[in-house]
Chains A and B, each alone.
Chain A
Amino acid sequence: MKMAQIDKDYFDKLAQTIVDCDKEACVRLVKEGLDKGTDPLEMISQGLGKGIKKVGDDFGTGACFLPELIGAADAMKEGVAILDENIKAQGKTRKSLGRIVIGTVKGDIHDIGKSVVAAVLQANGYDVVDLGIDVPEETFIKAVNEYQADCVAMSSLLTLTIQAMGTVIQKLKDAGVRNKVKVIVGGAPVTQEFADEIGADAYGHDAADAVHKMAILLGRK
């Protein structure tokens, strides 16, 4: 019944806003859909989700590149944020592949690698909370609790600052939440050896590897 009130190509248009990296259009269409009583879960699965999947596939084949992937992920985030509120208000829950908090560790301001991994994870259906760069250890712990995260992802480009990853893991233990979250680490000086040494669950050598490992970590493969 409600479906009759929206255009029959509404979901395609919604998906296209993601492909176009058009944040404003995405927000406008999402609000329009909600006003007309469209199911927010369907708006994600049939609209935004399809858009981000198209961009992810295009990225995979080389039809588009990182600026589009990141732009699409940003637009997706805006739309989903509005829909999440609505879903919550309806007392429903949204299924996601998993929620990941990600950041570049304390003492390190390198942003690019972490942002690329965040965008690629988002494009692959994960909810990603990007804590930014130079993230204090406590902020990771707080974010794990606040967002009920399934996984903590840490990045660093500097050989000395990667040590902070071990400290975060220790603090997760101290806070009694280590068994509730998986930990994945990456960045130029990080190796599998190092990941094992500090007790991380996985190491991703690039963004695609991070997606692959995430699927294993969170039991999707």
Chain B
Amino acid sequence: MKGFTGKRVGTSFPITDEECKQIHEAAVRVLEKGGMRCDDPRASKLFEKVGCKLENDGKLVKIPENVIQAAFKTCPSQFTIYGRSPKNDYDVVIGNGEIHFASVTGRYLRDIRTGERRKATRKDAIDGARMADALENVHGLYKAVMWLYDEPPIINSQILVGEMMKNSEKGMTWVYNTGAEHEVSDLIRLWEIAAGGKEALKKKPHVLGHVIINPPRVVDVHYTDWMIGFIDAGIPITVYSATIAGATGPATLAGMMVQVIAETLALVVLAQAYKPGHPLCYCSFNTSMDMRTGLWSFGNPEYATIGAGIAKMAGYHGVPCVAFGICDSCDTDQQTAYEKAFTLMNYALAGISLTWTLGGTAGFNFVTWDQMVLDNEVATYLGHYLKGIRVDAERLSEDVIMKVGPLPGSYMREAHTRKWYREEFLIPELSNRDFFETWERSHKELQEKAREKALKILDTYESKVPQEAQKEIDDYLDVVRKRGDVK
């Protein structure tokens, strides 16, 4: 899917080129002198193979600068997450200068029909996937819901991914979920089935896989499993840290940049050691701790600022960057609106390629389909801001200015107006622009309009995934369900 672009994408950063250099150099010193704890012998061996120094029985890896530079030589600067629609109109290019928006998730949701807040179920995963498939500014999917409380924990990921593959043709992303024994192999099998086979998935991967550091400075066994799984399947990855300033990272933003970039560089080295040339990108998921509760906070300015900084460092290293655009507010309210708007604007101006944001509130805790509709509208606004003021001979409009003015002329009846307004103005679908008196007499609240739109989608939208493809997925889910370990 074509993302949003324009002259303002990638124009604003919280750090300069010189500061990028300082952060890079400090991060390299951390890796050279302090190193990374490595809990997985497979990873240690890979690090050693490309010239890193192992200490403490292979459990501490020290990474020299030349190894990092060599790893970047094989990283591509862009790659594609393919959609599965026959028209190929859902493909998303990561790193081509466009901003893409994707859905995000929650453990709880507000039932759109009853208004009740409750735990998510399999049916909600189906609804979430269809909502994301239907909305024009959802360019990709995160987990449709975080957890299926009506399915066994051990096969939760499999059922969730199965339903997503059955109900949306848009590309998706995956972060390690249960750690269950067959999670990696089952999900890869499901993605292969959805793609039309092993080779088809390699040729047109429709998933972006997440490989994450346990901060501070630990290469984790589970994520090494996932890294190997993703790379073997031909799935591009995003490598990053999930650091919380003041808890698992330092309390200065510059310090956060150093630690997070050091950790990210370690994963770049690891991934390129496993398969040189495998496509990867950075990701922003590094925020501050709320000092009242100890919770990670995502609606704060420092989160978006660090994210923009990571995007700048990604550019400095020649790889793309994606980000989580989630918020703190627990409901669909004013706080949600300003948190998301500020964060997303920051991301867009920093040139982040894709951000998971639509539908979710309260971190990863809450999701509502009316919020997804509202975020879809916010994305339209953002897309418009990003265009900036396009200046060219025709848009300078000298002829029509000379023709119409001075008063009593009017631009209302000019062909020039009819030609340009749709491209230059934003005409929103849901946002209110009524006369105050009209609005005062009677109006529908924005949330109600969003709810009605969401309900219409849920009532009428059918999955475009062919029946036989859906059946193949169901057949595999049957195999998974019948396996001995499902209680």
Contact = CB atoms under 8 A, between A and B. Distances in A.
* Chain A partners chain B: yes
Interface of A: 62, 65-67, 107, 109, 111-113, 115-116, 158-160, 188-189, 206-207
B291 A159 contact: no
Nearest to B251: A67
B180 A109 contact: no
Given A112-B244, A158-B179, A159-B178, A67 B153 contact: no
Contacts of A160: 153-154, 178-180
A66 B153 contact: no
A115 B244 CA distance: 14
A188 B294 CA distance: 13
Interface in B143-182: 147, 153-154, 156, 178-180
B108 to A, nearest CB: 11
B153 A112 contact: no
A206 B180 CA distance: 27
Determine chain A's interface SS by DSSP, over half rule: loop
A66 B179 contact: no
A66 B294 contact: yes
Nearest to B218: A109
A71 to B, nearest CB: 12
B247 interface: yes
Determine chain B's interface SS by DSSP, over half rule: loop
Interface residues of B, number: 19
A109 B107 CA distance: 21
Given A159-B147, A160-B153, A66 B291 contact: yes
A109 B214 contact: yes
A113 B295 CA distance: 8
Interface of B: 107, 147, 153-154, 156, 178-180, 214, 244, 246-248, 289, 291-294, 365
A111 B244 CA distance: 12
Given A66-B289, A107-B179, 8 more contacts: A66-B292, A66-B294, A67-B291, A109-B214, A111-B248, A112-B244, A207-B293, A207-B294
Contacts of A109: 214
Nearest to A159: B153
A116 to B, nearest CB: 4
Nearest to B147: A159
Contacts of A188: 107, 365
B143 to A, nearest CB: 13
Contacts of B365: 188
B179 A65 contact: no
